[in-house]
């Protein structure tokens, strides 16, 4: 097979299929790295998804893996994986999207990276992110903006925007990301791929700031549900260095996704009762949710009571920024972007009464969500309240005629689920009239990833959108 044909075939293959080829000895990790290097050279200049490459390190790791018997190379068997540029990979730059750290090189890998590599993942790149992951539009002063491949005049969302674009354009088969207010789900929705926020503790991580910091979690991104489940299996596991980490489940998540188990009753909500949503987004997501009725699933309009979400998230997010970034405000304020300064200052100005109230609100919302899932197996709603917006807009200022109070409020439909401690994913469910992707958020009760993946896999089959990516970047229409 000609080199170009091989690149095209492998670029379009699913991660599960590529791993099968690795295990069968039909292809090597080194050959996959060659494919990726060629694909990145061909398309990344148009979208700016993977600004940091570490192919020398990756090839060293691949050669070490290849010295092991095929059955001892881990779940990923040598599959290359990019890591979000907020987290340490030994010997590789970790800029965090900030001029402060633009030349920083990590001395030790984060636990999540160690886990992926121990399970046969080969790290070859760092994916672009906004500064410190703040804001759901991927741009920073170090590398610039990441562009949406469906229309390069549009945002890829964030903060795992580089990872989503790498997947959508065939520069990755699987990708790592993180999520606080939708940072796995928002870019997945905007880029037509799948991104999942797992339950608290499902993926171990290096502790930063506090032992119980859990608004942010690590999670997988992929082009389809089975591939997503494969990476989730490779990311899970109990680590003593993260006391909240959970052991891997007895039944692998990939097996759960393939189980064929279907939900009996699901709820759909156009807005969770807390946010405006673009009319076209409502229409597309509702039609997608109602398709579950084709499989005999009861679909009803309902949602748990999440009315405190905006106030609660504003306080707890600000507190998180104060705990983890106050030192930078004191020492390097001149190099921080306005949104980061605003977040840190909001946190430093909190009173103990505000924190007490927010924590109580989160407990109440989680309790209501748990009660809600005694009636419904899954909750479905839009993953984002708008379709991909112009890249020059730093954030969404208004939706459906209503102006937002701050630059993160447009993310409420995602961060409300964060606060309720539920696992959730964004599944491609359709397109706008102009051809931009729309994601359906699918939510399960805490630690309900298995049922979530099975339900998402079933709906993915019904909608017939699997294989819509990868694509070549598409410039805006004339």
* Residues identified as active-site: 84, 159, 183
What is d(CA 135, CA 147) in angstroms, rounded to the nearest whole number?
A: 15
Copy the structure tokens of residue 145.
Answer: 């903006």
Question: Within 13 A of 167's CA, how many CA atoms are on the CB side?
Answer: 36
Question: Within 13 A of 478's CA, how many CA atoms are on the CB side?
Answer: 0
User: Omega of the bond prior to 159 within 30 degrees of 0, cis?
Assistant: yes
Copy the structure tokens of residue 134.
Answer: 């703040």
Find all residues with CB under 8 Å of 24, minimum gap 6, and list them. Answer: none
Q: Are 34 and 42 in contact (CB under 8 A)?
A: no
Q: Are 22 and 13 in contact (CB under 8 A)?
A: no
Nearest Cα to Cα of residue 52 among 9, 88, 19:
88
Copy the structure tokens of residue 9.
Answer: 């075939």
What is d(CA 208, CA 198) in angstroms, rounded to the nearest whole number?
A: 19
Across 289-336, where does the E strand assignment appear?
298-301
């Amino acid at each position: 097979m000609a080199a170009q044909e091989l690149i095209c075939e492998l670029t379009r293959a699913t991660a599960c299929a590529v791993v099968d080829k690795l295990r069968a000895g039909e292809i090597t990790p080194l050959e996959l790295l060659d494919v990726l290097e060629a694909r990145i050279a061909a398309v990344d200049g148009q979208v700016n998804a993977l600004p940091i490459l570490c192919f020398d390190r990756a090839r060293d790791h691949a050669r070490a893996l290849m010295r092991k018997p095929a059955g001892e190379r881990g779940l990923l068997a040598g599959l290359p994986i990019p890591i979000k540029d907020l987290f340490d990979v030994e010997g590789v730059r970790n800029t965090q999207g900030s001029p402060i750290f633009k030349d920083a090189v990590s001395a030790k890998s984060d636990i999540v990276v160690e886990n992926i590599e121990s399970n046969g993942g080969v790290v070859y790149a760092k994916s672009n992110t906004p500064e410190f992951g703040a804001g759901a539009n991927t741009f920073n002063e170090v590398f610039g903006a990441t562009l949406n491949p469906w229309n390069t005049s549009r945002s890829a969302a964030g903060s795992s925007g580089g990872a989503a674009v790498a997947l959508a354009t065939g520069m990755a088969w699987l990708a790592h990301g993180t999520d606080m207010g939708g940072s796995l789900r928002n870019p997945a929705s905007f880029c037509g791929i799948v991104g999942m926020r797992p339950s608290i503790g499902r993926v171990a991580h290096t502790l930063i700031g506090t032992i119980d910091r859990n608004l942010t979690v690590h999670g997988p991104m992929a082009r389809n549900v089975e591939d997503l489940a494969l990476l989730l299996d490779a990311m899970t596991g109990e680590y003593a260095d993260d006391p909240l980490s959970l052991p891997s489940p007895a039944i692998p998540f990939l097996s759960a996704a393939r189980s064929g188990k279907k939900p009996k009753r699901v709820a759909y909500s156009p807005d969770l009762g807390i946010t405006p949503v673009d009319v076209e987004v409502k229409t597309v997501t509702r039609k997608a949710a109602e398709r579950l009725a084709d499989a005999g699933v009861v679909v009803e309009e309902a949602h748990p009571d999440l009315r405190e979400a905006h106030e609660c998230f504003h306080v707890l997010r600000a507190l998180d920024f104060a705990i983890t970034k106050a030192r930078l405000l004191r020492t390097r304020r001149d190099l921080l972007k306005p949104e980061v300064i605003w977040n840190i200052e909001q946190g430093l100005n909190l009173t103990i009464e505000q924190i007490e109230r927010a924590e109580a609100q989160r407990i109440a919302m989680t309790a209501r969500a748990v009660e809600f899932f005694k009636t419904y197996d899954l909750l479905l709603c839009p993953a984002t309240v708008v379709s991909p917006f112009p890249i020059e807009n730093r954030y969404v200022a208004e939706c459906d005629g209503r102006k937002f109070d701050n630059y993160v409020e447009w993310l409420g439909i995602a961060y409300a689920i964060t606060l309720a401690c539920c696992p959730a994913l964004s599944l491609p469910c359709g397109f706008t009239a102009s051809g931009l992707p729309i994601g359906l958020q699918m939510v399960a009760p805490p630690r309900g990833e298995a049922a979530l993946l099975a339900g998402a896999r079933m709906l993915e089959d019904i909608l017939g959108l699997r294989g819509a990516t990868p694509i070549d970047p598409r410039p805006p229409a004339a």
